[in-house]
Amino acid sequence: MINITIQVKENCVGSYQALNGIVRRVCSGYAAILFTENPRIGFAFLLATFWFPNIGASGLIAILLAIGTARLLQFRSLANGSHLYNSLLIGLSIGASYQLDGYSLLLLFFAAISSVFFSVLFTEWFWRLEHLPALSLAFVLVAFITSFAAQGSVQLDYYLYPVPDYQTFLSRPIDYFLTALAGIFFTPEPKVGLVLFLGIFITSRYLALLTLAGFLAGNSVYGALTGEWYSTFSLHYGFNFFLTAMAIGGIFTLPSQQSFLCALFGAGLAAIIGSALQSALLPYGLTGMALPFLIVTLTLLAGLNKRTLSAAPYLLLENPALPEVSLERARLAKVRGLTSNCLSLAAPFIGEWTVYQGMNGEHTHQAPWQHALDFIMTDEQGKSYQTSGDFLTDYYCFGLPVLSPVYGQVSSCRDDLADHAIGEVDTENNWGNYVLIWVDGQHTVLLAHLQQHSLQVKPGDWLVVGQKIAQCGNTGRSPQPHIHLHVQQTSYLGSPTVDFNLNNGILRIAQQRQFYLTCQPTKNALLSSQLPDSKLAHALHFPLGKQLCYRFRKNEGHWQRHCFTVLLTLTGQFRLQGDSGASVAFVETDKLLAFYDRNPIEDACLDLLLLNLSMTPLVNGVLHWQDQPAVGLLPLYGLQKGLYQLLPFGHHLTAAYQRQWQESLGGWQQQAVLEYGSYWQKKQTFHAQAVILPEQGCAKMQLQLDELCFEAELEGCGRAADIGIPGQQILSHQEEVV
């Protein structure tokens, strides 16, 4: 009896989870039509379509058919959910055209399932072709097929909208805009349009702006050409203006002035193409539906993707997201020095060296070779030599190892030239002995002035970062021993240089060691390439399946338990995810742990961890460094939180970190001063600190502002079980949670 009861409970739980999953997929399908993933907003959209029950029921049946088909046939390439919104749109369009009965349901059945097949096919084709999104192409194709098929049927009863109420809802222009917006769901009613616009606004204020601007641009172009400013054309085709502006200006490009102008141009072009399609298709009893949006969006994205230079508008075809998410990713990458058009190199030496000549240097680093760095080694007095300095061996850097700054392949090299005396130069062989390393399929890295007969590589060899390739010498146009480093456009020796930066090193300023993720050091800067701290790297290692459990509290309140697990996504991204569903991506190397791309689900304990470990160098010694974590990680309340959520722009957070080993703790103490400000509020200073223990990791965390205090303590860590890998119970380091 007990076993039967347990089995019944397990079946009930399984049924509830399956039903909950179906409801979430249905709501997500409705939300995806307007570029959001929030199932709650999708549920509001679903209810709005039942303003006309015939249309709402038809759409719901179609999306349920899509879910059932995908599950039954186990299709691949459905992660983006395109089969859901394409089938949903088919259902809504059929419901807006025909009364639901046995004949229309038969048509709906074949149309919805066909949309799943076409979605799979088009998604795969367009991704392989130009990495383009297939969008609603499956819906348009199936809609044309069903329209032609229906014209030969005498059994289908046309659906007539209820007689509209001609009373003004808000005002004529606003009603006109909202009715056109509701046309996306084939429900031309301003109240439905208001629900949709509020959903867009809650999802993204920038998308709401693009919705307004896109409709204004498209309607203005059509009105200027025809003289009709309140036309039935814009009511039926206006959703093409919205969708085009949202896709081009906010989803598939990084928001910028250029992308906004492209969005307005696309909306205007959609009006022209829509007008042309109306004239061409009307004799056949057809409408263009979403075809103007598809033609314009895919054409502009494909054209922008053909550019050889990286410039605004920057495409996000491989990782589209809401505008605010994309802007936050770009902001964090920029402040950390990670730009797509600038190659990042490791320092080509061991120890601390001095920049002898920087970029745009006064001696030889002039156009077209202005992007270059020269390095020498100096003592505390700033001298690069000992004793008299008359001989090459007097110079500290002469004969020291030169390391590969990149992963790449040796394209050419030379080491037969003799090292000349101090003050002498070889102007016939300016670069002296050198190594050219081909990287990333576009650029070549040059290391020059190497010591004679010191090369340890040959053309064709593949190199790794930090591999010894030669020794520092004094060949070519070199008045004293030094290393010359630059990145050039081609593999031809001496071709024009391009911009680059150095990564993961230490900059010494006024005896303070400042860690940099990337930098472009200036003349006389003191740089060092530190070895990784293996103990610290082990303490903050996040392998796949690792589980962490913290107890967390606010202002000495009750402890709450928060657990996190390291996951790996299908795209190869590592994420730390909590039981709440909150998660964040991270990158881990032998010298750095850095978090980014926090999802919007609230989890104060995860935010506390990120504020303390936002970007953590894994090198030894007393360190200082800077970062700018996302403002959304701060515990903002009341008016502060409301202003940030309403207008996320204009807020900024700077963080100054330092870390040192504390014998009394038996670990490292990491502290941060976080300064938050905005255009509307005065600056506030938060203080964060963490204790990192060699065998436990981040054991304690704290964040404080005046009387506000958040604390977390590590209870233990474990490992999630997998096929062939046994699970590991969380080993407690603390007493039980109260």
The 10 Å CB-count burial string (b at 16+, else e) for 524-553 is ebbbbbbebbebbbebbebeebbbbbbbbb
Q: How high is the pLDDT of residue 736? A: 35
Q: Is the pLDDT of residue 538 over 50?
A: yes
Q: Where are the alpha helices (DSSP H) in 427-568?
A: 534-539
Compute how many other C-beta atoms are within 10 angstroms of the C-beta atom of residue 503. 23
Mean pLDDT score across all residues of the chain: 89
Q: Summarize pLDDT for 424-475 with one digit per residue, the tens.
A: 999 999 999 999 999 977 789 999 999 999 999 999 999 999 999 999 999 9
Q: How high is the pLDDT of residue 289? A: 86
CA 561, 712, 726 angle in degrees (round to 5)? 55
The 10 Å CB-count burial string (b at 16+, else e) for 173-191 is eebbbbbbbbbbbbbbbbb
Residue 638, classed as helix, strand or coil, is helix
Q: Do residues 343 and 330 make contact, with C-beta atoms less than 8 angstroms apart?
A: no
pLDDT band at residue 727 under the 50/70/90 scheme: low
CA 114, 22, 119 angle in degrees (round to 5)? 25
**CA 392 to chain CA centroid, nearest Å:** 50
203 burial (CB, 10 Å; 0-12 / 13-18 / 19+) is: buried
Compute how many other C-beta atoms are within 10 angstroms of the C-beta atom of residue 681. 15
Q: Is the pLDDT of residue 477 over 90?
A: yes
Mean pLDDT computed over 162-177: 79
Q: How high is the pLDDT of residue 309? A: 67
Mean pLDDT computed over 515-528: 90
Token pair belonging to 403: 């390391």
Ramachandran class of 728: left when φ > 0, alpha when ψ lies in -120 to 50, beta otherwise = beta
Q: How far apart are CA 353 and CA 528, in angstroms?
A: 6
Cα atoms found within 13 Å of the Cα of residue 497, Cβ hemisphere only: 24
Mean pLDDT computed over 337-366: 87
Q: How high is the pLDDT of residue 166? A: 59
Q: How high is the pLDDT of residue 654? A: 93
Mean pLDDT computed over 576-588: 94
CA nearest to 274, candidates 315, 224, 328, 219: 219
Q: Summarize pLDDT for 61-75 with one digit per residue, the tens.
A: 999 999 999 889 887
Model-wide pTM > 0.85: no
Mean pLDDT computed over 323-334: 90
Q: Where are the alpha helices (DSSP H) in 154-290?
A: 172-182, 190-203, 205-226, 232-246, 257-281
Token pair belonging to 725: 């890998």
* Lowest mean pLDDT across 157-166, 309-318, 369-378, 476-485: 157-166
Q: How far apart are CA 579 and CA 583, in angstroms?
A: 9
Token pair belonging to 145: 């097929």
Q: Do residues 670 and 616 make contact, with C-beta atoms less than 8 angstroms apart?
A: yes
pLDDT band at residue 303 under the 50/70/90 scheme: very high
Q: Is the pLDDT of residue 203 over 60?
A: yes
Mean pLDDT computed over 676-687: 84
Q: How high is the pLDDT of residue 283? A: 80
Residue found under tokens 């007097």: 394
Q: Summarize pLDDT for 242-289 with one digit per residue, the tens.
A: 999 999 999 999 999 999 999 999 999 999 999 999 888 888 777 888
Q: How high is the pLDDT of residue 733? A: 41
Q: Which is more confidently placed, 209 or 20?
A: 209
Q: How high is the pLDDT of residue 424? A: 92
Q: Summarize pLDDT for 385-434 with one digit per residue, the tens.
A: 999 999 999 999 999 999 999 999 999 999 999 999 998 999 999 999 99
Q: How far apart are CA 649 and CA 271, in angstroms?
A: 31
Q: Do residues 252 and 313 make contact, with C-beta atoms less than 8 angstroms apart?
A: no
Q: How far apart are CA 333 and CA 349, in angstroms?
A: 26
117 burial (CB, 10 Å; 0-12 / 13-18 / 19+) is: middle
Q: How far apart are CA 381 and CA 720, in angstroms?
A: 55
Q: Which positions ≥6 away from 397 have C-beta within 8 Å?
A: 349, 353, 375, 376, 377, 384, 472, 481, 482, 483
CA dihedral 633, 636, 642, 648 (to 10 degrees): -30
What element of type H or E holds 647? Answer: none
CATH topology of domain 343-529: Glucose Permease (Domain IIA) (2.70.70)
CA nearest to 587, candidates 599, 597, 579: 597
Token pair belonging to 631: 């403002």
Q: How high is the pLDDT of residue 276? A: 92
Q: Summarize pLDDT for 615-653 with one digit per residue, the tens.
A: 999 988 778 999 999 999 999 876 677 777 777 777 889
- In the CATH scheme, what is the homologous superfamily, with its name and number, of domain 204-332? Ammonium transporter AmtB like domains (1.10.3430.10)
% of the chain surpassing 90 pLDDT: 65
pLDDT band at residue 20 under the 50/70/90 scheme: confident
Pairing of strands 512-519, 483-488: unpaired
pLDDT band at residue 342 under the 50/70/90 scheme: confident
Q: Do residues 456 and 468 make contact, with C-beta atoms less than 8 angstroms apart?
A: yes
Q: Which positions ≥6 away from 558 have C-beta within 8 Å?
A: 738
Q: How far apart are CA 211 and CA 251, in angstroms?
A: 12
The full set of domain ranges for the chain reads 53-160, 204-332, 343-529, 534-732
Q: Summarize pLDDT for 101-138 with one digit per residue, the tens.
A: 999 999 999 999 999 999 999 988 988 888 899 999 99
Residue at 400: amino acid letter:
L
Mean pLDDT computed over 49-54: 94
pLDDT band at residue 728 under the 50/70/90 scheme: low
Q: How far apart are CA 437 and CA 682, in angstroms?
A: 50
Q: Do residues 240 and 290 make contact, with C-beta atoms less than 8 angstroms apart?
A: yes
Q: Highest-confidence range of 87-101, 141-155, 296-310, 723-737, by mean pLDDT?
A: 87-101
pLDDT band at residue 721 under the 50/70/90 scheme: low
Q: How high is the pLDDT of residue 164? A: 58
